[in-house]
A = this chain, B = another copy of it.
Amino acid sequence: MTNLALRHEDDEEERRRLGERLREARKYLGLKQEEVAAYLKIPRTGLTDIENGQRRVEAIELTRLARLYRQSVGYFTGEDQASSSLPADVAHLARRVADLSAQDREELGRFADYLRARSGGGQG
């Protein structure tokens, strides 16, 4: 089996997980592939392939599926939902920062980097 199907094996696993989440969400709502495919205006077999991780999902398609399935886009992509919504005090800080000039914001960003480095924490 060569790469007649999908280019990167790297993506294979992630695509499969995405497809599984989409299938779960569809079944949870009791919808048929045919119905969802019609909603997306793609062939039914296209949705079959999506749910089996054998076809790419366009960002716009995912957005519409998320609306249909009443979930966030981040849920399907596996995005960390905790980090998706900011902690309360960070949101507060953001509001305090919103009326600063762009230049001051940049300086504040550098200071944030400094703090992160000093504490040795943080992510790349």
Contact = CB atoms under 8 A, between A and B. Distances in A.
B122 A99 contact: yes
Given A59-B58, A77-B59, A100-B116, A41 B105 contact: no
B87 A14 contact: no
Q: How many copies does the complex hold?
A: 2
Interface string A62-104: 1100100000111011110001111101110111111111101
Given A83-B98, A91-B94, A99-B123, 18 more contacts: A8-B41, A18-B59, A59-B59, A59-B62, A59-B76, A59-B77, A62-B62, A66-B79, A86-B94, A90-B97, A90-B98, A93-B94, A93-B97, A93-B109, A94-B97, A96-B112, A96-B113, A104-B118
